[in-house]
């Protein structure tokens, strides 16, 4: 990714924050985010799928791109609160709302990510330039949850199914190419596994 000296580059993100036409009709990013989380079936925790690996990898890639602009520290956590990093004050009720949407049985990593996503959507609605540029920062991980994937920390790794990534995302190469995470592309990838199981 090329960075201009006197401005921010535009990441090559391929998806929008919306998932369905119904959500797309809502007026704000925060309302869209809240609706997405409310609609996740937390009881659905399906088999490990190829699309899950793509989504976690793309989430980490976007996170590193964001942190390249906002953090000089190369010791980074893959799971982070973007609103906190840019030091933007958020209403305390957002976390309470999130707790009402998320199944009590999910682990803390999932709960935190949903809260961070809601808070970031709130910041996007305030039209801060950095938030508008990275408006779909959390989209891959929320899409993972929508598709039945889950993540957790185990020792020094971020784990999804049988795959793992370093807990410190700064250790992950910046050479990763943007992933196409449209649902039709992910569905085709998962269907291919059904036809040719390993």
Length of the chain: 198
> What's the confidence (pLDDT) of residue 63?
92
> What's the confidence (pLDDT) of residue 198?
57
> What's the confidence (pLDDT) of residue 184?
96
> What's the confidence (pLDDT) of residue 93?
82
Q: Are 35 and 23 in contact (CB under 8 A)?
A: yes
Q: Are 61 and 137 in contact (CB under 8 A)?
A: no
> What's the confidence (pLDDT) of residue 186?
96
Cα distance between residue 108 and residue 115, in whole Å: 10
**pTM, full prediction:** 0.81
185: exposed, middle or buried (Cβ count in 10 Å: 0-12, 13-18, 19+): middle
> What's the confidence (pLDDT) of residue 168?
77
> What's the confidence (pLDDT) of residue 81?
93
> What's the confidence (pLDDT) of residue 105?
73
Each of the 198 residues of the chain gets a pLDDT tens digit; together they read 433 444 444 434 333 333 443 444 457 999 999 999 989 988 877 678 999 999 999 999 999 899 888 876 777 788 999 999 999 988 888 877 777 777 767 888 998 999 999 999 999 999 999 999 999 999 999 999 999 999 998 888 899 989 999 887 776 766 778 999 999 999 999 998 666 665
> What's the confidence (pLDDT) of residue 46?
67
> What's the confidence (pLDDT) of residue 118?
93
Of 110, 6, 123, nearest to 56 by C-alpha is 110
> What's the confidence (pLDDT) of residue 97?
76
> What's the confidence (pLDDT) of residue 18?
39
CA distances to 95, 110, 116 from 101, rounded to whole Å, are 10, 12, 14
> What's the confidence (pLDDT) of residue 193?
67
> What's the confidence (pLDDT) of residue 122?
94
């Amino acid at each position: 990714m090329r960075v201009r000296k006197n401005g921010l580059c535009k990441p090559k993100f391929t998806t929008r924050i919306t998932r369905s036409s119904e959500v797309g009709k809502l007026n704000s990013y925060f309302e869209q985010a809240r609706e997405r989380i409310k609609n996740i079936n937390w009881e659905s925790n399906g088999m490990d799928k190829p699309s899950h690996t793509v989504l976690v990898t793309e989430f980490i890639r976007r996170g590193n791109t964001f942190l390249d602009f906002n953090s000089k520290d190369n010791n980074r956590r893959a799971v982070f609160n973007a609103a906190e990093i840019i030091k933007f004050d958020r209403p305390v009720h957002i976390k309470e709302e999130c707790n009402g949407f998320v199944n009590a049985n999910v682990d803390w990593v999932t709960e935190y990510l949903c809260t961070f996503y809601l808070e970031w959507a709130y910041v996007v609605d305030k039209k801060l330039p950095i938030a508008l540029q990275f408006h779909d920062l959390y989209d891959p991980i929320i899409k993972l949850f929508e598709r039945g994937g889950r993540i957790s920390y185990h020792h020094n790794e971020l784990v999804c199914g049988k795959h793992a990534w370093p807990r410190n995302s700064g250790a992950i190469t910046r050479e990763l190419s943007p992933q196409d995470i449209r649902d039709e592309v992910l569905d085709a990838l998962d269907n291919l596994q059904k036809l040719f199981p390993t």
